[in-house]
């Protein structure tokens, strides 16, 4: 019993550390949307693309080893959990605002949450981190004194990339998904974002509790199909459909899959 608990604890810690390391490793190549440019960058790095010494990011540039805005959000969430012992919305809100707000490294002209779209054209990449859409909306909502501070239109990957500390803390507990949702809605009060993040949380919890498992995908699908599942979402059926699409395409390499399935509209 002790050995099993220790192993679970080690995997929980590994999830947090692994997410942070992966974020820093990918940061110099973050947001390269042009497939040909990405191929060019990767050709210079094979077989080790992680921790590229010089940033190839077309939007912002940080020192290699530093986090993206996603990794920094995970750090703030971890810090809040550590200090409060739970998901504390008031504490988390204050910490996020303090970390990403005025007079911080994120406080750059292009990152101004009140910047007008028809203002001076941005010169990219900027020297410094990027304050993304949900963080800008979060700051405006806090400034306006709104009770619900999360952005209601942003459904990017912030939730998925920062939820490891919450899942690690509450893995195996019935309230795990509820805790994840509460934390995510502080900056992303969007149902699509929440449904996707909760599916990712189920995957991570499965690996923390069970270790490596080739049947993890089917296990999560079974959870989502369970009418008595914890924290059900109205969009769970859509999430199931997307996971099944992933399952159907597992054999395809990324260069083949992405242009065929994920095309710009």
116-149 pLDDT, tens per residue? 877 778 899 999 999 999 999 999 999 999 999 9
CATH 3.10.129.10 describes domain 2-190: no
Structure confidence by residue, pLDDT tens digits, 188-243: 999 999 999 999 999 999 999 999 999 999 999 999 999 999 999 999 999 999 99
Domain boundaries, given as residue ranges, for the chain: 2-190
In this prediction the pTM is: 0.93
Looking at beta carbons, which pairs linking 128-134 to residues 24 or more positions away fall under 8 Å?
Answer: 128/60, 128/61, 128/62, 129/60, 129/62, 129/66, 129/68, 129/69, 129/72, 129/105, 130/59, 130/60, 130/68, 130/69, 130/106, 131/69, 131/100, 131/106, 132/69, 132/156, 132/158, 134/158, 134/187, 134/188
């Amino acid at each position: 019993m002790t050995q099993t608990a220790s192993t679970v604890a080690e995997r929980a810690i590994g999830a947090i550390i692994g997410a942070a390391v992966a974020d820093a490793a990918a940061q110099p190549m973050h947001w390269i949307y042009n497939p040909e440019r990405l191929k060019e960058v990767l050709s210079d790095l094979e077989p080790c693309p992680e921790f590229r010494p010089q940033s190839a990011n077309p939007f912002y540039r940080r020192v290699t080893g530093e986090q993206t805005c996603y990794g920094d959000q995970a750090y703030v969430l971890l810090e809040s959990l550590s200090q409060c012992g739970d998901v504390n919305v008031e504490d988390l809100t204050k910490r996020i605002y303090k970390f990403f707000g005025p007079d911080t490294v994120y406080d750059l002209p292009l990152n101004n949450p009140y910047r007008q779209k028809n203002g001076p054209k941005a010169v990219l990449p900027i020297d410094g981190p990027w304050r993304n859409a949900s963080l800008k909306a979060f700051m405006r909502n806090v400034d306006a004194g709104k009770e619900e501070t999360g952005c209601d239109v942003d459904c990017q990957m912030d939730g998925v990339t920062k939820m490891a500390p919450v899942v690690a803390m509450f893995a195996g507990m019935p309230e795990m998904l509820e805790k994840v949702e509460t934390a995510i809605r502080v900056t992303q009060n969007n149902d699509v974002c929440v449904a996707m993040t909760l599916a990712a949380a189920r995957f991570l919890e499965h690996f923390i509790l069970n270790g490596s498992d080739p049947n993890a995908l089917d296990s999560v699908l079974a959870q989502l199909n369970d009418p008595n599942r914890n924290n059900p979402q109205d969009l769970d059926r859509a999430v199931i459909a997307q996971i099944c699409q992933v399952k159907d395409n597992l054999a395809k390499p990324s260069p083949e899959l992405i242009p065929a399935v994920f095309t710009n509209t």
